[in-house]
Amino acid sequence: MAASQDPTPETWAAVFAHMSGGVLSEQTVSTVLELITSLAKDTLPGSVGAGVTLVDEDGSHRTAAATDPIVERLDALQYELGEGPCLTATHEAVPVRVDDLSGERRWPRWSAAAAQDGTSSVLSVPIVHAGRSFGAVKVYSPRTHGYTDQSEEILERFAAQASILLANMHTLAAAEELNEKLLQALRDRDLIATGKGIVMLRENLDADAAMRRLLEMSAQRRITVREVAAEVVASIHIESV
């Protein structure tokens, strides 16, 4: 068992205060994930590196943050072989701890390559929010039995922080997309209202009748009301020039 000293509650308070401050002030996810991985490496002594694996929209995996090249190597190998502790942690949404990779049978090819690269134990915890798995946070150790139940609890707290961040980023992206759709709808509506006003003047119609004219023209010519309105507006512009 690794000689990891117990962090005091004060250390924890400092670590999480640091992280919350980071979440508030940093603009990009990757910066915060880098911070989370470097804190994970520092708070789990004996680790050669820590990293975060994320699942992209298309289902592919990538390492979003890694403290050391060995993490990138071991992660890339998991994605390439389609097997490994972080993939299992991500897809089964369970923490995966391996005390001795030389005896590991679940991912024979990856475990052999990792052992060759000097890694003997690994701990990988899923990043889950509201039932959705975003990926995993992992640490690698050159010693067997590098991690304990307590290490698992600690890494789970980092994963919880990462999950809040990622869930928020996800919501933000969805909100931005809706925002863009709404702006487009407002632009269309504006153009159509302008076209309607021109038809009102030109054909001496009230607002509802003018709108019906636009709908008729659109249906007859099988072009959108927006396109009809754009033509009406453009025709005024030509007349006035």
Partner 1 sequence: MPYLPDGEYRQRFHAALRATRLDMEELWLRYFALGGEVGRVEIEAYLNGLLPLPSLQHDLLAHAINERLDELAPPRAPYASELPPLE
Give the shortest CB-240-to-partner 1 separation in angstroms.
24
Give the residue with the Cβ less far from partner 1, 113 or 211.
Answer: 211
Shortest gap between Cβ of 230 and partner 1 (angstroms)? 13
Q: List alpha helices for 44-148, DSSP H.
A: 69-81, 85-92, 108-116
State the CB neighbour count (10 A cutoff) for residue 29.
Answer: 19
Binding site for partner 1 (CB under 8 A): 181-182, 184-186, 188-189, 192-193, 196, 208, 211-212, 215, 218-219, 222, 224-226
Query: In terms of CB distance, is 7 or 197 closer to partner 1?
Result: 197
Q: Among residues 61 and 196, whose Cβ is nearest to partner 1?
A: 196
Q: What is the DSSP string of 143-171?
A: STT---HHHHHHHHHHHHHHHHHHHHHHH
Taking the complex as a whole, how short is the minimal distance between the CB of residue 175 and partner 1, in angstroms? 13
| Residue 193 CB, nearest approach to partner 1 (Å) | 6
CB of 19 or CB of 225, closer to partner 1: 225
Length in residues, the chain: 241
Residue 229 CB contacts under 8 Å (≥ 6 apart), including other chains: 191, 192, 194, 195, 196, 214
Bridge partners of residue 49, in order along the sequence: 140
**Terminal Cα distance for the chain, rounded:** 85
Rounded CA separation 211/24 (Å): 48
Shortest CB 201 distance to partner 1, Å: 17
Nearer to partner 1, 95 or 195 (CB): 195
